[in-house]
Amino acid sequence: MLTKTLQTLTDALKEYDLRDYMLMKSRKPGPRAKFTDLPAIPYGSEYKSIGFPVFKTITVFYFRPRDLRRIANLVHGDWIKHMSLKYVERAARQKKFRTKRVRKFIIEYHERELETSKGKVARRHQKRTLRH
């Protein structure tokens, strides 16, 4: 039985912002790959069967956290700083997208109300939609 201190390949890729070819020499890097000359790190594997309704067996790869930190530091420099910056930039992109989506919804609402309303209400909606 494997201990909880080991991390799976999927968790390692997400938590350390790495690619599978960086951790396993058997995986081939793509044409735009960077950092192809990294040292090999040891890993273990385990076969797990997925039960009903799909009877299938998968291979799960496990890595030691200290080896993952070593590779992440080689790739990103200070990986903790890299990951915090990545999350800050992601939050900024999400906020920008959310603002754009809400603005689009409000404009569509006022255009819809302008078509259906008459008189004073229509003028209010028209002022709102023309002020982009």
Query: Tens of pLDDT along 95-120?
Result: 999 999 999 998 888 777 777 776 66
Predicted TM-score (pTM) of the model is 0.65
The reply to whether 121 falls in a domain is: yes
| In a shared domain, residues 97 and 54 | no
Q: How far apart are CA 92 and CA 75, in angstroms?
A: 24
Mark whether 113 and 69 lie in a shared domain. Answer: no
Please report whether residue 2 resides in a domain.
Answer: no
The range of the structural domain enclosing residue 19 comes to 7-77
**Claim to verify: residue 11 and residue 35 sit in the same structural domain:** yes
Count up the domains in the chain and report the number. 2
Distance (Å, rounded) from C-alpha 96 to C-alpha 100? 6
Beta bridge partners of 49: 57
Q: Do residues 13 and 52 share a domain?
A: yes
Asked if 15 contacts 7 with a C-beta cutoff of 8 angstroms, the reply is yes
What does pLDDT average to over the chain? Answer: 84
What would the pLDDT profile of 83-96 be if each residue is shown by its tens digit?
A: 999 999 999 999 99
The strand order across the sheet containing 56-63 reads: 7-8, 56-63, 43-50
Q: Is residue 65 part of a domain?
A: yes
Say whether both 24 and 41 belong to one domain: yes
Is the per-residue pLDDT at 66 higher than 60? Answer: yes
45 versus 34: the higher-pLDDT residue is 45
Mean pLDDT of 41-49: 89
Tell me, yes or no, whether 32 and 94 share the same domain: no
> Do residue 42 and residue 94 come from a single domain?
no
